[in-house]
Structure 1
C-alpha cells in the first residue's frame, strides 16, 4: 500500500484490536477508523473515503450485505470480510454483494498484511476488467448503431455498405462529430418518422 492511507475497520467490539491496528500501520496505513458492526458502514465509508474496508463479524446478515452492496456501488473500495461463517450460500451472497476478499476466520494481525495486499491488488485488477468490459460494451453498442444507420442508408438511399459507411464518415467529418453520434441521429430520426 502507498503511504498516507486510511482503512475503515468494522468490528463487533472497539477494543482488543490494538495489535491489528499496529499491523495495519506497518503496511503504510496512516489512519485506522474503527466503528462497531451495527453502525452505518456505508455512511462512514463515504465520509472518510478509505482505501479499504475491513469487516470482522461473527455472522452475516441482510443489513450488512446491503451496506456492502451500497459501498461497492457508490464508493468503489475493496471490502475484506472476516467471518466465522463458511457456508457456501453465505459466501456466494457476500461475493455478489461486492466483497472483494472473504476469509473464514478472524483478522489475525500476522496474516492481515498479506491478505490486504492481495485484496488491494485483486480489487485493482477487477476494476480494470470492469472498465475494459464497459469500454468493450460501449464500442459494441456504437457498432450496432452504426450498422443500423448503414442499413437505413442502404435501404432508403440504395447505397452499398461501403457507400453508406463513407456517407456516415463524411457527415461526421463535416459536422465535426463522431460517426456513432451521426449514426444515432439517423436511427433516431428514422424511428421518429417511422
Structure 2
C-alpha cells in the first residue's frame, strides 16, 4: 500500500513517515517541496493520503476538494494543529475520512490510517448504494409513466400494460426501463406520436 504524506511540518512529517516505514507492507512517499497536492496524487497514485492543513500551497481546502474527481479520489486523513468545528464540517463535506487534531505526531499513526481507509470504503459503498437506489427509482418512474400512457392509449389495465412491457423487454433483450423509454419516445410523453 502506498501512503502519501503531505505535511509542511518537517518534524511531524518525518515522525509520521518513520512510523509508517516501520511497516514493511507500506510504501511511504512525501510530497517534494513546491509540489501541489493534486500533482503529487496524479504522479504517485497513492492508496491513502495523510495531509497537514498547514500546507502553504493550498487555498483552504481546494486541493483536497480537487481530489474528489473520480480518477484522483482516495481516502484522506487530515491533521490539524488546532480544533476548528467549521473546518472539520467542511472537511467532512468534501470527503475527508479522518480529521485529527494533533500538536505532536502520534506514537502510532497506523490506526488513524486504517480508520481513514475503513471510513472511505464505507462511504464509497454507501455512495454506490445510493446511486443504485436513485437509478432504480428513476427507472421505476419511467416505467410507471410509460404504463400510464400505454393504459390510456390501449385502454388496458395496469397489469396488462406491465405484461406488455415485460414481454417486449424479453423479445428485444432489453431492460423494461429501456422499453419504457422507447415507448415514451415513440408515442410522446403525453401520448402524441
Please classify the TM superposition score into its range, dividing by the shorter chain length: 0.7 to 0.9
Q: Is the 8 A contact 1:54 1:81 kept in 2?
A: yes
Specify the alignment match of 1:51 in structure 2: 47
Structure 1, unpaired ranges of 5+: none
SS in 1 for 2:164: helix
State the partner residue of 2:181. 184
1:72 aligns with 2:68: yes
Unaligned ranges ≥5, structure 2 = none
CA offsets 1:6-31 (integer angstroms, 9 cap, x no match): 11111114566333222212345532
Instruction: Report the alpha carbon displacement of residue 84 of structure 1 after superposing the two structures with TM.
Output: 1.5
After superposing the two structures, state which structure 1 stretch, 34-43 or 121-130, moved more.
34-43
Q: Which moved more, 1:51-60 or 1:144-153?
A: 51-60
Normalised TM-score (structure 1): 0.86
Q: Distance in 1 between the 2:4 and 2:42 partners?
A: 11
Show the 5 A alignment for 1:83-162. Answer: 83-106=80-103, 108-162=105-159
Helix, strand or coil at the partner of 1:17: helix
Q: In structure 2, do the counterparts of structure 1 residues 98 and 18 end up closer, same or farther at CA, with 3 Å as the change threshold?
A: same
CA distance in 2, matches of 1:60, 1:94: 17
1-structure distance, mates of 2:90, 2:56 = 9
SS at match of 1:12: coil
> Shift of residue 187 of structure 1?
2.0
Distance 2:93 2:133 in 1: 22
Q: 1:34 to 1:61 in 2, by over 3 A?
A: closer
User: C-alpha root-mean-square deviation of aligned residues, in Å?
Assistant: 2.4
Closer, same or farther: CA 138–60 of 1 in aligned 2, 3 Å:
farther
Moved more, 174-183 or 91-100: 91-100
2:174 counterpart SS class: coil
For the 8 Å contact 1:60–1:90, the answer to whether it is kept is: no
| 127-136 vs 35-44, greater mean Cα deviation | 35-44
Q: Give the structure with the higher percent helix.
A: 1
Measure, in 2, the Cα distance between the counterparts of 1:12 and 1:83: 11
